[in-house]
């Protein structure tokens, strides 16, 4: 049983999978799943590399940035963890680093978009930061980390005021001097995120009102409604023109709305310039 990368040519990745079958169907299914996850990891790694730069200097908001080095990073995917060595940039005078590949791939902390979409109903953004808190609380106990994260996500999703309580816990943890530099940085990022967004994290109330609380719906709409229509080769848009086209596109993509639109026009007519 094994997975082998055969070739990478342009936008195509060819992977060879060998799976051991067993007289036990359960064992065969486990082998299939393991091999498919390995292939998914391998393909995801190549997909991320495809979105990376070649190391040439880039310009952001009028400022030039230069490749500092290629650094390893672990990404969480639907198939498991994958390590990718990608270009990291910095201004000539130093300062904060920037990774174009993470931006192009729409990485959420360390999660790929499809993984984030899969777990969006579990509050992907908030739980990602809560993961850093779990590590700070139990740096050497993975089991306790998972239990605390599961309980905290449940509280955040179902209990009023949970975001404020978690935020206070984070603030208290930040006062500790026992954390490593890496843990402290991630904990501070979690504090910043919750500090800025906890007023928008009343998920228990939102669910009572039947509001969507995950990012999956919005991300899918951005891809289907906007990107597939406005980002074709050679297209350039001004805000007014894009707004008109997207209004029509939402009518077309929403079941029954296109026919309702024309029925209304047939009933009331189209407004003339003199009536506007």
Burial 88-113 (b: 16+ CB within 10 A, else e): bbeeeeeeeebbbbbeebebbbebbb
pLDDT at 122: 42
Which 8-state DSSP code applies to residue 18? E
pTM comes to: 0.47
pLDDT at 253: 86
Delimit the domains of the chain by residue range: 2-117, 119-208, 216-231+242-265
pLDDT at 121: 41
| Tens digit of each residue's pLDDT, the chain (276 residues) | 789 999 999 899 999 999 999 998 888 888 898 899 999 999 999 999 999 999 998 887 778 889 988 999 998 888 888 999 999 998 888 888 889 999 889 887 777 888 766 545 445 567 778 888 998 899 888 889 989 988 998 888 888 889 899 999 998 888 887 888 888 888 888 888 888 888 777 778 777 766 666 666 677 788 888 989 999 889 999 999 999 999 888 888 887 777 777 777 777 666 554 444
Give DSSP secondary structure letters for 21-40: --SSHHHHHHHHHHHHHHHH
pLDDT at 117: 62
Taking the CA atoms of 20, 24, 25 and 31 in sequence, report the sign of the dihedral they define.
Answer: negative
- Strand, helix or coil at 194? helix
Cβ partners under 8 Å of residue 84, min gap 6: 45, 48, 49, 72, 73, 75, 101
Which 8-state DSSP code applies to residue 272? P
C-alpha dist (Å) from residue 82 to 120, 146, 174, 249, 274: 20, 20, 30, 37, 62
Characterize the bridge pairing of strands 58-60 and 63-77.
Answer: antiparallel
């Amino acid at each position: 049983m094994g997975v082998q990368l055969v070739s990478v040519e342009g936008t195509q990745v060819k992977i060879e999978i060998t799976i051991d079958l067993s007289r036990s169907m359960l064992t065969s299914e486990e082998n299939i799943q393991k091999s498919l996850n390995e292939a998914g990891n391998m393909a995801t790694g190549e997909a991320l590399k495809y979105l990376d730069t070649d190391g040439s200097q880039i310009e952001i908001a009028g400022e030039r940035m230069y490749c500092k080095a290629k650094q390893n990073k672990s990404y969480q995917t639907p198939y498991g963890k994958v390590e990718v060595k990608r270009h990291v940039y910095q201004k000539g005078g130093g300062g904060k680093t920037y990774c174009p590949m993470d931006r192009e791939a729409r990485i959420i902390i360390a999660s790929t978009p499809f993984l984030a979409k899969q777990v969006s109903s579990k509050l992907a953004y908030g739980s990602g930061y809560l993961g850093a808190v779990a590590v700070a609380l139990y740096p050497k106990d993975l089991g306790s980390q998972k239990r605390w994260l599961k309980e905290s996500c449940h509280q955040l999703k179902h209990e009023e005021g949970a975001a404020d309580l978690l935020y206070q816990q984070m603030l208290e943890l930040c006062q500790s001097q026992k954390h490593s530099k890496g843990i402290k940085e991630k904990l501070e990022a979690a504090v910043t995120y919750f500090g800025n967004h906890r007023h928008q994290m009343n998920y228990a109330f939102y669910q009572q009102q039947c509001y969507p609380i995950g990012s999956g719906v919005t991300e899918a709409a951005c891809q289907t409604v906007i990107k597939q229509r406005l980002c074709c080769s050679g297209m350039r848009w001004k805000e007014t023109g894009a707004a008109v086209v997207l209004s029509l596109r939402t009518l077309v993509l929403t079941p029954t709305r296109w026919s309702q639109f024309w029925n209304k026009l047939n009933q009331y007519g189209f407004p003339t310039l003199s009536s506007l």
